[in-house]
Amino acid sequence: MSIGEKLRKRRYDLGKTQEWVAFELGSAMKVKVSQPTINNWENNKSHPSLFQLQALATTLRTSVSYFISETETETEKWRKLAEEYAERCRMLEKMNVMLLKEIEQLRGE
């Protein structure tokens, strides 16, 4: 789940509106944010800064790690996929070398 999806879920879980979040960030946390900005964050069109993320966590009674933990997991998934891809490329390269040697042997016979 992305940061935006987690933001939306947490807001829904608390029964709050985007307008409420924007108002609370502005009044209690002194972070000037509009409702359209909250909407952009929730739809992953833009992302909050670390300072804004800290204010969001406080306003929505959660932690910053709530928002970023799965994002880190997603990064880890991509890293593993890249490693698997690299390993497959190495295997294909070895197979190509073997096939070329076999072709050379067949031509020589």
| pLDDT tens digits, one per residue of 47-87 | 999 999 999 999 999 999 899 886 556 677 778 888 899 99
The verdict on residue 105 lying in a domain is no
The verdict on residue 93 lying in a domain is no
The verdict on residue 103 lying in a domain is no
pLDDT reported for residue 61: 96
The verdict on residue 89 lying in a domain is no
The verdict on residue 104 lying in a domain is no
The verdict on residue 75 lying in a domain is no
Task: Indicate which CATH number applies to the domain containing 46.
Answer: 1.10.260.40
User: pTM for this one?
Assistant: 0.63
Number of domains forming the structure of the chain: 1
Res 107 pLDDT > 60: yes
Structural domain of 22: 3-68
pLDDT reported for residue 108: 84
The residue type found at 21 is: V
Q: What percent of the chain stands above pLDDT 90?
A: 71
The verdict on residue 43 lying in a domain is yes
What is the band of 30 on the pLDDT scale with cuts at 50, 70, 90? confident
